[in-house]
Amino acid sequence: MHILRHHTPVPRPLQGGVYALGNFDGVHKGHQIVIDEARRVAKELNAPLGVLVFEPHPKQFFFPNEPFFRLTPFRAKARLLASLGVDVLAALPFDAAMAKRQAPEFILDVLVNGLHAAHVVAGYDFRFGKGRTGDASILAYMGREEGYGVSIVEEVAHEGEAYSSTRIRERLAAGDPRGAADLLGHWWTVETHVMTGDQRGRTIGFPTANLALEDHVQPALGVYAVRVEIEDGPHKGHYDGVANFGKRPTFDKKDVILEVHLFDFDGDIYGHHIAVGFVDYLRPEQKFDGLDALKAQIAKDSAKAREILANLDAAVK
């Protein structure tokens, strides 16, 4: 997948693409329907399949001090889009200049004269341009004037509920990663680097990889069954595990981190980039009277997580 950081200049082989437009936070099932429509048109036109997003997310630009809300920071989003067969990801900088662009100006400068889009596809609620004044009707009108095609995908619901990044965040905040996965079409995943922690877990028989969520939305505090991908190095591969996301009250800690214990694993992955998929919520975080009580509970959590993940594999087979 080619990644464009600016709308001009665009290499000639990448011009004339069919672009799905949106922020695509989470790349959930509703987003996938928009991309599927763009793929269908791209195949008809024998054109590159593209997705256009903004980095940072416009909400981050306008409200920089608000809590992190993103389901998929850029790297995770790019990986998901690549897995969907996207040829070109136009990740355009959202800055003061972009924020000031009127909707027609955005269409002419970015879509027409920059990307040379042959066709664009957007969801029914897509908004763009200064003051979010651009919508489907402006895309269609300018398309007729400038010679590009337009497809608008209407609202799609899941069990009577529209696919929505906001609803997925609500599921995660409620400790329902399976419900979030139903809307996403994949496990919600945290992708970041393993940092050096207190190394206390190794001393009690449960070594952990410690992760800061950085610019991810925060799920409910507690213990989870997880699936982990180590993306590089000698231990590259997929592993099952159990994770605690919280403040570690047994040790009177206040900062919130994700601690992941990988089953049947003994290796050094400090500094490595890993992806942690949240599969199921086991219990809320709690404070224990001492290390023996903590160790006993981690053993129970590990056994429960192994059972859940094994049953998951059995269901697939």
Digit-coded pLDDT (tens) for 179-236: 999 999 999 999 988 987 665 555 556 888 899 887 889 999 999 999 999 988 888 9
**Lowest-pLDDT range of 107-111, 118-122, 158-162:** 158-162
CATH 3.40.50.620 range(s) for the chain read 2-158
pLDDT for position 249? 62
Cβ atoms within 10 Å of 84's Cβ, excluding its own? 16
**Lowest-pLDDT range of 12-21, 24-33, 41-50, 252-261:** 252-261
| Range from 7-16, 33-42, 200-209 that averages highest in pLDDT | 33-42
pLDDT for position 103? 96
- Rounded Cα–Cα distance for residues 226 and 242 (Å): 6
pLDDT for position 206? 81
Q: How confident is the model at residue 271 (pLDDT cuts 50, 70, 90)?
A: confident
Mean pLDDT of 294-311: 93
pLDDT for position 151? 97
CATH 2.40.30.30 range(s) for the chain read 186-316
Residues 6+ apart with CB under 8 A from 210: 194, 195, 196, 197, 257, 258, 259, 260
pLDDT for position 157? 74
Q: What superfamily does domain 186-316 belong to in CATH? A: Riboflavin kinase-like (2.40.30.30)
Report the phi/psi class of residue 218: left, alpha or beta, with left for phi > 0 and alpha for psi in -120 to 50. Answer: beta
More confident residue, 293 or 17: 17
Find out whether 299 and 263 touch, Cβ atoms under 8 Å: no
Domain 2-158 has CATH 3.40.50.620: yes
Find out whether 177 and 225 touch, Cβ atoms under 8 Å: no
Mean pLDDT of 241-267: 84
Residues 6+ apart with CB under 8 A from 5: 91, 92, 93
Find out whether 92 and 53 touch, Cβ atoms under 8 Å: yes
- Rounded Cα–Cα distance for residues 173 and 42 (Å): 37
pLDDT beyond 80 at 43: yes
Cβ atoms within 10 Å of 304's Cβ, excluding its own? 16
Rounded to the nearest integer, the mean pLDDT of the chain is 90
Query: Which one, of 132, 126, 136, lies nearest residue 23 by Cα?
Result: 126
pLDDT for position 317? 44
Cβ atoms within 10 Å of 78's Cβ, excluding its own? 20
